[in-house]
Each structure stands twice: as structure tokens, then as C-alpha cells.
């Protein structure tokens, strides 16, 4: 018989490959129908390649403030003037359905969630190098120069905190990183 559903947290610097890894992970047959990503909320505008309800729940600042005030968020962060958060209701619904819940959040969000769910399994995704991270962020073309510089400063700080995570993966080669992520998930099922 299957154990109680678990919470898996994937975190790491912006541009480390968290999104690519989790999307590929959820396509693997062992995780289909068994693991569900909780969609985060944000107040930032939708990017051209994003879909509401799949990538984020896009909400107004007013709605976000209400959710935070009503303690409906497990964690919330201000990132470059936009708010991001994890809905308590969404996570509880996934777990109630008997599914494992996958959360993709920043390092501060991981810390807040681990305080509420100390048995959550946290996985830090490292970029191969800071210069590789900078190239990835530039290639995304989603940040201006000033924001790119800020993201790199934040990345250095986040990397210094990686030691408190349960697991770490260097995302140097996507296939190898995905294999390692799969192994960690299966080890904890």
C-alpha cells in the first residue's frame, strides 16, 4: 500500500532550470497521475509563452493582499516588485486527492514551507556556473540589464543557502539532472 502523499520542493536560482526539469519529470510515466505541481500565484504580468492556470495563477495585487491577510498562502515573496505565493488550499487539495505535491519556489519560499511541512523533501537545483547562469538568463530575454544583475546577486546568495536542502542537483546536462531528480523522487516515494 502507498504511503501518505508527500510534498517535494524544487528550488534554486532563477535560470537554474527548475521549470524545465519539473515539466520533464511530470511527463515520466512513474509520476503521471501520481505527482501534481501546485500552481503558484503571481501579480506580475503574464509572459507571451505562459498560460494562466498552468504556469501561474495571475492575480491582482488586491486579491494577493487579501489572500495573504486571510492566511491563505503558505509562503509569499516580493520579487522585483511583483508578488509570488503558494496557495494553502491548492496544496491541501492535491494531498487530499492522494497525490504527491510538487512545489517550485524560491529559496525563501522553501524555508517558509519547511516550517509548516518539516517532512517536505527539498531539492536545490544548481546552475553549472554563475557564468552559465548569466548566459541562460540573457537567452531568456525576460529581464532588463538591471534586473539581470539583481538576479545574479540573488543567485549567489541562494547558492550559499543550498547546504540546508535535503538534496542538490547540478543542472549541467539536462538528461543527467533529470535522471538524478527522478532518482530522488523515487527514493522518497
Q: Which residues are bridge partners to 102 per DSSP? A: 8, 37
Question: Residue 137's pLDDT band (boundaries 50, 70, 90)?
Answer: confident
Conformation bin of residue 136: beta by default, left when phi > 0, alpha when psi is -120 to 50 = alpha
Task: Please count the CA atoms within 13 angstroms of the CA of 107 that sit on its side-chain side.
Answer: 21
Map residue 180 onto helix, strand or coil.
Answer: helix
Closest residue by Cα to residue 171 from 32, 59, 18: 18
Closest residue by Cα to residue 85 from 39, 37, 41: 41
DSSP 8-state assignment for residue 127? -
Between 1 and 26, name the one with better pLDDT: 26
Choose the weakest-confidence range: 1-10, 79-88, 92-101, 169-178.
Answer: 1-10
How do strand 82-87 and strand 73-79 relate by DSSP bridges? antiparallel
Map residue 151 onto helix, strand or coil.
Answer: helix
Question: Residue 142's pLDDT band (boundaries 50, 70, 90)?
Answer: low
Q: For 86-131, how does the pLDDT look when each residue is reduced to its tens digit (9 = 90+)?
A: 999 999 999 999 999 999 999 999 999 999 999 999 999 999 988 8
Domains of the chain: 8-187 (3.40.50.300)
Q: How far apart are CA 133 and CA 152, in angstroms?
A: 8
Q: For 13-70, how does the pLDDT look when each residue is reduced to its tens digit (9 = 90+)?
A: 988 999 999 999 999 999 998 999 999 999 999 988 889 998 899 999 999 999 999 9
Q: Which residues are bridge partners to 79 per DSSP? A: 82
Q: Which residues are bridge partners to 185 per DSSP? A: none
Amino acid at each position: 500500500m502507498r504511503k501518505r502523499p508527500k510534498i517535494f520542493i524544487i528550488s534554486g536560482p532563477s535560470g537554474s532550470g527548475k521549470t524545465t526539469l519539473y515539466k520533464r519529470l511530470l511527463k515520466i510515466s512513474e509520476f503521471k497521475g501520481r505527482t501534481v505541481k501546485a500552481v503558484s500565484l503571481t501579480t506580475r504580468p503574464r509572459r507571451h509563452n505562459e498560460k494562466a492556470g498552468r504556469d501561474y495563477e495571475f492575480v491582482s495585487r488586491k486579491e494577493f493582499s487579501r489572500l495573504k491577510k486571510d492566511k491563505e498562502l503558505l509562503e509569499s515573496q516580493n520579487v522585483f516588485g511583483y508578488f509570488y505565493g503558494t496557495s494553502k488550499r491548492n496544496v491541501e487539495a492535491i494531498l487530499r486527492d492522494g497525490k504527491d505535491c510538487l512545489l517550485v519556489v524560491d529559496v525563501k519560499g522553501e524555508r517558509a514551507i519547511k516550517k509548516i511541512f518539516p517532512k517536505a523533501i527539498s531539492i536545490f537545483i544548481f546552475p553549472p556556473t554563475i557564468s552559465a547562469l548569466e548566459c541562460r538568463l540573457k537567452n531568456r530575454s525576460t529581464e532588463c540589464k538591471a534586473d539581470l544583475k539583481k538576479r545574479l546577486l540573488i543567485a549567489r546568495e541562494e547558492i550559499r543557502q543550498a547546504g540546508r536542502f535535503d538534496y542538490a542537483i547540478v543542472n549541467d546536462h539536462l538528461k543527467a539532472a533529470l535522471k538524478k531528480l527522478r532518482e530522488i523522487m523515487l527514493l522518497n516515494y
